[in-house]
Amino acid sequence: MSYENIIVRNENNVAVVNLNRPKSLNALNSDMVAELGKAFDELTGDAQVKVIIITGEKNFAAGADITNMVELTPEEAYDFAFSPIYNKIANCPKPVIAAIEGFALGGAMELALCCDLRIATPTAKIGFPEITLGIFPGAGGTQRLPRLIGAAQAKKLIYTGAIIRGEAAYALGLVDTLAENPLKEATTLAEDLAAKPPVALKLAKECINAADDVDLNTGVAFEATNWARLFATSDQKEGMRAFIEKRKPTFVGK
Ligand code: DAK
């Protein structure tokens, strides 16, 4: 499928989704977000794709397109469909990595929060400046940010709208890896993950994501059920047999 606001390429079982509106620093308009939704449907259904990277050349993105939002009524703002697509990305059954250089602001950082991992340059410019526009992060940011870095640090970033460097975001745990070339680092990691057993990755992600939603005992029970399900996969047999036979496993995703 071809898109106007994103570029999707696929190599070695790794799909790279490039946000591509460079004239506005990749600001996310509703068309771009709709295309992201379609791309994720396509990539989720493509058995050749094992891992997905979201990135932007020079800049990840400077947030949602402000020109798209300025005159919205409350009803239109509510319908402005970011969160369903962001939730789809957060719940994608494949690992999703954000590779961040330049600006990653507002709705763009909320998108990065939907990814499993965030790799950024030390000099990336990261923040939630919505407050300076008279709004606050509304695409999951008030929920995902405190879960990741704690309520006080999340409040500090959201209340002030401060833009911090990648290295400061790393110190907060908002970014989990610093790299001079985040896309290269993300690709190396993605190729490593692409060789891992996909069902185990998928169910591990479901369990870890569930930790945000349920109490500990419910989560541990959910984990036990999913863990047991892995013993119905040939990849579990292959992984353990390969260990015993002192060879490298070959996983088939079943
Ligand atoms: N929207 C639209 N255009 C933008 C933009 C944005 N977010 N960011 C940059 N641009 C455009 C600029 O207007 C400029 O366009 P031209 O004037 O050349 O036509 C071009 O990109 C280059 O930007 P600058 O000239 O400003 O470049 P500088 O290097 O001087 O400054 C900057 C870079 C990133 C500091 C500055 O552009 C800036 O402050 N941008 C706005 C950042 C921002 O406030 N981001 C948060 C946006 S609000 C939703 C939930 C959440 C959201 C949306 C919906 N729902 C529940 C549906 C999210 C909201 C947000 O993200």
Interval 7-43: pLDDT, tens: 999 999 999 999 999 999 999 999 999 999 999 999 9
The pLDDT score that the predictor gives to residue 229 is 97
Q: Whose CA is nearest to atom 11 of ligand 1?
A: 24
Q: What percent of the chain has pLDDT over 70?
A: 100
Q: Whose CA is nearest to atom 42 of ligand 1?
A: 62
* Digit-coded pLDDT (tens) for 175-233: 999 999 999 999 999 999 999 999 999 999 999 999 999 999 999 999 999 999 999 99
For 153-173, how does the pLDDT look when each residue is reduced to its tens digit (9 = 90+)?
999 999 999 999 999 999 999
Query: In which band, very low, low, confident or very high, does the pLDDT at 77 lie, cut at 50, 70 and 90?
Result: confident
For residue 101, indicate whether it is catalytic. no
What are the boundaries of each domain within the chain?
6-194, 198-244
- Look up residue 35 and give its two tokens: 């295309």
CA 108/CA 130 separation, integer angstroms:
11
Res. 135: pLDDT tops 80:
yes
CATH superfamily of 6-194: 2-enoyl-CoA Hydratase; Chain A, domain 1 (3.90.226.10)
- Annotated active-site residue 110? The verdict is yes
Give the pLDDT confidence score for residue 10 in this predicted structure.
96
Centre of ligand 1 from the C-alpha of residue 171, in Å: 25
Question: How many angstroms is it from 19 CA to the middle of ligand 1?
Answer: 14
Q: Give the HSE-up count for residue 206: Cα atoms under 13 Å, Cβ half-sphere.
A: 15
Cβ(138) – ligand 1 distance below 6 Å: yes
- Of ligand 1's listed atoms, the one at least distance from the Cα of 161 is 44
Pick the CATH number of 198-244 from 1.10.12.10, 1.10.150.20, 3.30.200.20, 1.10.3720.10: 1.10.12.10
- Reported as a pLDDT band with limits 50, 70 and 90, residue 123 is very high
Return the ligand 1 atom nearest residue 63 CA: 61
Q: Closest ligand 1 atom, CA of 132? A: 44
Indicate which residue of 35, 57, 71, 110 is catalytic.
110
